[in-house]
Chain A
């Protein structure tokens, strides 16, 4: 379709940061000979506009009159050739991929009273210099675009706007199952991307046999979506045979069992809603949900991570009768960013590209939503190369009186927000299959690009409607789209849906595609008839599209029509309860690891610098600063702290009700490396670390809820499933001792990558997220050292536990003695430290995790711009340990406290039975000094530690400027 092309260029006398960034990216992709790169922003407007209007619009809206110029190319004109001595590359969204900028352009046209015509966008980079054209194209494809969603053109501009998608197939298709044997059923499932196994297909076959008919395509797709691992968690709710016992419904008998046994009075709603809800104060509750968006992020990191953020925000928005999102969290696992390209299997993006794309995706979704991203962490392991993990979390606040929802027969089904397109079809089933070399190309339909402004409008509309009590139930459209959202809401009720009413992004979608599309930014509400007009009016005011899709009934049938024709008529009982339980075999044989026989560390200072520079420990400031962590003005404890706001924080502190000091503390714990030795250690250390972080910042261990988020390689393999069961047992045992109920959780259990010659499986990971409610944020702490002369108090016991430690990793070793948690000691430490902090006798606190005592002390010094002197003989240990073991052991349940000398007695009184010792003091001399009694061991300047710690992820090259000052 022909279109006007408008190129907006930064005037030559102005700086062009986008062009400069493209030059850096092309150079780092190995392109030689670049002199300069200038950028152009390109817009396509349908040819039906007249030229005067196009120019008016370009001048008023597309171009910045202070720094830009623009050029209009007529629809029939061919693109001008590049100037001599230069080339250009154009990056163009592929047809069918959501283009939020084009969407805004269209909106601006309408606002200016111009015709509502089709629009598109592209970016051009004009490259001057002696560059080889094919090399430029290759470098641009690698560093300026993602082939899944964008095309790159060399010395050419897009010919016009994508044409229409074609006519939709509106017929009702039936899929005969009656004559298929198990193999045939499995093949049908595989070919259709249904991700159902033989037993499940047979259950469907039997069901339709008793009905005496074949399922329609829409019915089969609905079952596949609803029964997907993503939606039903059939592994964790299945039966597992492990070490001579049969666990029926693993989730219910482990995780949920802990919560029900503890029966904490602050729990308002657990495991039944989109998010777990706990009481905040007399009026309000806070809710929290953590999700993963691993698959989409592996294929298209920017879109995958962004839509992950968007999805978990909608989860919280759809909790109870609408919660207001107040904070985002994110935790990532990547392969090491310095991995050599030839080590990256075909079909995988390079881990540095994944990291940059994921960070940009979270940034460009979370920031425009006006929700602060306040807490997170990043972890690295080679085996994340094919399956990076992207955990995204969200916290919301809602009136406790509105924590429960119930749709009623007769309520109208209303869809809110974004339009439906072909994006994200089969996302739920796609996430239940292993990735392989060709997933990048085969699964692009499952990729979604976010449009945060649309979601912001949805959020504003939903929260206003919630305030006016205009709906009786709400849920988000996530995996499975309408089929899952409406299917879930109508359980026990029934629904009639008229799909023809659903607004589409473009024509050409078959009814079953509309039904299961995972197009973003959509919510479904159940609205009492008498409130419908008001709800639609509020949505109009908030510029949020709202459409009536049907009605909830009372016959427990899900009927989906298109233009009067029935495409699905299903028994909801079978849809929700008909899934046959799985029985899986699990076993666990401890892997044969051994402790390394390392020679005594000769240069402890150098060893510490190496530990600080490990990716597990190094500064994440480059990431943190790209996220808005201040919006909503609730922040009382920031992700970075200290004199120059560059020290790492243990947890986020928020006071979400403006004017009130009552607060929330948010933290997380995860250590994938321990999983390689023992998943039980990994799991309990995750909980202990989350709790240490939380308590160090001032959280209350007796008013804390936790979340479990599983990411596993596979559960088909009995050993892998055994690892999962073992990890779960350890996690639950510790949670019972700590009295921390699980209020929500999620799992992603198929994170393996089938490369040509090998299968790469991620280490089993459980992310534990902890959230505490506190009465006053003014009683919280940061990790940075406050005053020279204050004492360093080490709480807890240091053991020979270096298995999986960062120090071993810097030596190329894994080891065997992985840290385990002493339950009673751990509980006593958390509560003792909390008492001391609550009594106001601690100046700063920091938990000991990766890198042990040495790294924790170094981080406190970096934040406070002070030195410290530590006497290793004073450290309470179990048995006799060498210096490097004392310094780098990763034993759990340990914290460092900064205490003024005159408050030491108070700290002692609050810690009572817990082992602790004064091990040194903070000093004005900016060195970290270790000694035994008087004998010096090492002395490292804080500036050296800071440089080592900041350099590894200093991706703009700007973090070291202040270090020497």
Chain B
């Protein structure tokens, strides 16, 4: 079995592509950059990949609304092909701005298998950007590659991360039917809406979503900034307590599991 090919999307303003690429490579994938222009010119390129990653950043400056312009571009010119990619077994990861793009595109949570904006990621209640490490719990969800029951520390770094569903009914569906893949938890391990454990005020502490088929994952906090052991803020304490550095940082699980599943299915 060869390494699964991972498309790491580049676009004006995307700025986490290097670390995303490195994390997938470290996990045993075969990642490569593809610029959105190249993809729009030849959308069939998509079919050569097993995994698509939309990295974080400020696509097109993000100054109308985060991720909207890139999502609009992808929807208009790639829309069905992306749905088809997922239906045929492709995996998709959106991190931070990439998550915002997937949400605006309608690929997440995609409860009705059509590209439609069902939720949004909107302004933090603080009304400003904030960078802080958060604690996350992976839920029992539809996600085919993210194990449930993990407690993970990743850094959040965003100004528009408050996940709001279109209505209360959908919000309940997201929770009850396994779309909410990750939630912010407080110092007792409980899902929380309270600052600072929940940095943006998202109802029910939603931090990440998967889609109906569990093949798409979007997360606001950054596994791509927490996959190496020295990324972790407490790595020096870990060395003292365990006598050595951990092998991975907490974000590594996402890349490793995506590569593992993509490989097993290829």
Contact = CB atoms under 8 A, between A and B. Distances in A.
Contacts of B22: 633, 658-659
Interface stretch (A103-111, A123-131, A740-748): A103-111
Interface string B201-238: 10000000000000000000010110110110111110
B1 interface: no
Given A67-B122, A370-B57, A100 B63 contact: yes
Given A14-B164, A958-B195, A112 B127 contact: no
Interface string A80-115: 000000000000000000001101110110011000
Nearest to B224: A633
A625 B131 contact: yes
A843 interface: yes
A915 to B, nearest CB: 27
Given A456-B12, A633-B225, A958-B195, A104 B69 contact: yes
A941 interface: no
Contact of A627 (B73, B126, B131): B131
Interface in A400-452: 451-452
Interface string A441-483: 0000000000111001100100000000000000000000000
B118 A630 contact: no
Contacts of B63: 100-101, 104, 453
Interface stretch (A56-64, A167-175, A822-830, A881-889): A56-64
A15 B163 CA distance: 12
A645 B133 contact: yes
B131 A629 contact: yes
B143 interface: no
Contacts of B16: 370, 631-633
B125 interface: yes
A962 B201 CA distance: 17
A368 interface: yes
A580 B23 CA distance: 57
Contacts of B237: 786
Nearest to A22: B127
A369 B64 contact: no
Given A108-B69, A368-B13, A961-B196, A635 B231 contact: yes
B3 interface: no
B155 interface: yes
Contacts, number: 182
B72 interface: yes
Contact of B240 (A65, A363, A787): A787
Chain A interface category by residue count: 35 or more
A965 B68 CA distance: 40
Contact of B236 (A364, A627, A786, A958): A786
Contact of A104 (B18, B64, B132, B230): B64
Interface in B98-118: 117-118
Contact of B228 (A633, A781, A782, A956): A633
A673 B173 CA distance: 60
A14 B60 CA distance: 26
Given A14-B164, A64-B120, A778 B61 contact: no
Given A15-B125, A60-B72, A67-B122, A628 B131 contact: yes
A367 interface: yes
Contacts of A542: 12, 35
Given A101-B64, A104-B69, A543-B12, A66 B120 contact: yes
B187 interface: yes
A453 B132 contact: no
B157 A631 contact: yes
B57 A61 contact: no
A29 interface: no
A452 B57 CA distance: 12
A21 interface: yes
Interface in A542-564: 542-543
Interface string B1-30: 000000000101101101100110010000
Nearest to B20: A633
A636 interface: yes
A66 B15 contact: no
Interface in B137-172: 155, 157, 164-166
Given A368-B62, A962-B196, A66 B166 contact: yes
Interface in A238-263: none
A628 B35 contact: no
B13 A661 contact: no
A621 B203 CA distance: 25
A626 B201 CA distance: 16
Contacts of A18: 123, 127
Contact of A66 (B18, B118, B125, B224): B118
Interface string A633-649: 10110100101010000
A657 to B, nearest CB: 10
B63 to A, nearest CB: 4
B136 interface: no
Nearest to A629: B131
A643 B126 CA distance: 24
Contact of A61 (B13, B72, B133): B72
A453 B12 contact: yes
Nearest to B200: A17
A630 B72 contact: no
B45 interface: no
B124 A17 contact: yes
B127 A453 contact: no
A525 interface: no
A777 B245 CA distance: 12
B60 A453 contact: yes
Given A452-B58, A635-B231, A965-B187, A658 B19 contact: yes
A632 B19 contact: yes
A14 B164 CA distance: 9
B60 A108 contact: yes
Contacts of B35: 541-542
B69 A633 contact: no
Contacts of A456: 12-13, 15, 58
Contacts of A370: 15-16, 57-58
Contacts of B13: 368, 453, 456-457
A53 to B, nearest CB: 14
A553 to B, nearest CB: 35
Contact of A630 (B120, B129, B166, B222): B222
A542 B123 CA distance: 29
B242 interface: no
B253 to A, nearest CB: 16
B139 to A, nearest CB: 22
Contact of B117 (A66, A108, A638): A66
A370 B68 CA distance: 19
A871 interface: no
27 contacts: A17-B124, A18-B127, A21-B128, A65-B117, A100-B61, A104-B60, A104-B64, A107-B60, A111-B72, A369-B15, A453-B58, A453-B61, A453-B63, A457-B13, A460-B10, A626-B130, A628-B131, A630-B222, A632-B19, A633-B23, A633-B224, A636-B235, A641-B233, A658-B19, A782-B236, A958-B196, A961-B196
Interface of A: 14-15, 17-18, 20-21, 60-62, 64-67, 100-101, 103-105, 107-108, 111-112, 360, 363-364, 367-370, 451-453, 456-457, 460, 541-543, 625-633, 635-636, 638, 641, 643, 645, 655, 658-659, 661, 777-778, 781-782, 786-787, 843, 956, 958, 961-962, 965
Given A633-B19, A655-B230, 15 more contacts: A64-B122, A66-B122, A67-B164, A101-B63, A107-B69, A368-B57, A370-B16, A626-B130, A628-B129, A631-B157, A632-B18, A633-B16, A633-B22, A635-B231, A781-B236
